[in-house]
Amino acid sequence: MPHQLAFATHNIHKLQEVAAKIGDTISLLSLNDLDFHKDIPETGATFKENASIKSHAVAEACQINCFADDSGLEVEALNGEPGVYSARYAGEPADSEANMDKLLQQLKGVANRNARFKTVISLLWNGQEYFFEGVAEGTIRQVRSGAKGFGYDPVFEPAGYHITFAEMTMEEKNAISHRAKAMEKLVAFLQGRAV
Ligand code: IMP
């Protein structure tokens, strides 16, 4: 009987990405599988706090080992903004085009374009909490380029490349993304325990 582990997400793409890496010693359940449809308010000031709020909400409601992730973009010249407000930087409802417009406007004439995507995962495993972090360093372009991906991908050029995340295939992005790096650390941890 494989260990059961919940991923506190409704995003099927994220779930499949982890499921593909995790192997069959763990059976991964989504919030839909658990019939969990409550909105979890992300009131934390950091990615770590938000990830922790989500994993605790699901683990407590469903009495199951669980992990949650929280991600966003931190721009050096903007003191780490938009950070935890990445999804709703230009206001509600969340709108990626408006968010990129606002970001490019804020950086108009600014020479320092350094930025990083960050993901933090909170895992609640047998009553203990563990954190895993992944970072993708890069720069913010002057204008958008590319149509793949989501969010800020068209304006983010990862370090060491001359294309944006939105010009990469999913496989290329998944090899270097903040989310993939955090997920790899989580999977390595689980493979050491769930046997
Ligand atoms: P989430 O916590 O993974 O839902 O990410 C929150 C927000 O950060 C998203 O709505 C995007 O605006 C931004 N974001 C996170 N990861 C990425 C990425 O890989 N590419 C582009 N934008 C991202």
Q: Give the model confidence (pLDDT) of 127-147 as tens digits.
A: 999 999 999 999 999 999 999
CB 172 within 8 A of CB 149: no
Per-residue pLDDT of the chain (195 residues; tens, 9 = 90+): 678 999 999 888 788 888 888 888 889 999 999 999 999 999 999 999 999 999 999 999 999 999 999 999 999 999 999 999 999 999 999 999 999 999 999 999 999 999 999 999 999 999 999 999 999 999 999 999 999 989 999 999 999 999 999 999 988 998 999 999 999 999 999 988 865
Model confidence, pTM: 0.95
Residue of 71, 103, 121, 169 to mutate, ligand 1, most atoms within 8 A of C-beta? 71
Ligand 1 mean position, distance from CA 124 (Å): 22
CB 177 within 8 A of CB 136: yes
Number of domains in the chain: 1
Q: What DSSP line would sit under 102-164, residue for residue?
A: HHHHHTTT-S--EEEEEEEEEEEETTEEEEEEEEEEEEE-SS---SSSSTTGGGEEETT-SS-
| Nearest one of 38, 30, 29 to 10, comparing CA atoms | 30
In one letter, which amino acid is 13?
A: H
pLDDT value for 16: 83
Between CA 53 and CA 109, with CA 46 as vertex, the angle to 5 degrees is 145
- Closest residue CA from atom 5 of ligand 1: 71
User: Distance between CA atoms of 158 and 173, rounded to whole angstroms?
Assistant: 9
CB 124 within 8 A of CB 143: no
Distances, alpha carbon 174 to alpha carbons 15, 43, 68, 189, in Å:
13, 28, 18, 19
β-pairing verdict for 128-140 and 66-75:
unpaired
Pocket-forming residues, ligand 1, beta carbon under 6 Å: 70-73, 86-87, 117, 149-153, 165, 177
CATH of the domain at 161: 3.90.950.10
Region of residue 126 (left: phi > 0; alpha: psi -120 to 50; beta: else): left
Q: Which residues are registered as beta bridge partners of 4? A: 27
Query: What residue numbers bound the domain in which 159 lies?
Result: 3-193
Ligand 1 mean position, distance from CA 52 (Å): 17
| Nearest one of 83, 76, 79, 143 to 115, comparing CA atoms | 76
pLDDT value for 25: 82
In the annotation, is 95 catalytic? no
pLDDT value for 130: 98
